[in-house]
Structure 1
């Protein structure tokens, strides 16, 4: 019985690093979270109008609109943008 417990502990120890690297969810930066909030607000969600009965459905509806916009634009926004004017060739 003791050898079975040791084998399980050793297997779990060896498998733990693999499980950590298998995660594809990277932590979001503050700028990415703010961008997501702006997108949801532009889609019609207003956090200032908090109503406990309507909160989940309002938020989910706004998230669905954002997902539909991202799909229509050909993918998910990465959180980076390029601003400014390029050089004009003359």
Structure 2
């Protein structure tokens, strides 16, 4: 009988440890939230503005932030001006002409 009580007590003692191990997701810190809000305000979002346009205003600011991040990423990965291989002049002239008529 004592063995059954000991096993039941051991199972009850280990249950919270096992259930706690499953939650590894942490929330944002206050500093992270403030930094994100400052970044949104720098992108043109005003939290005190028209509340009826909230979803559109914040989505526009987020798209500006994402667009700026894309531009930075492309700038880091694109070759420097001196690293670009030079095209022969005849091909370069044809490429410029083709670019003019590319819209039609």
Bigger relative CO (Cα 8 Å, ≥ 6 apart):
1
More helix by share: 2
The structure with more radius of gyration: 2
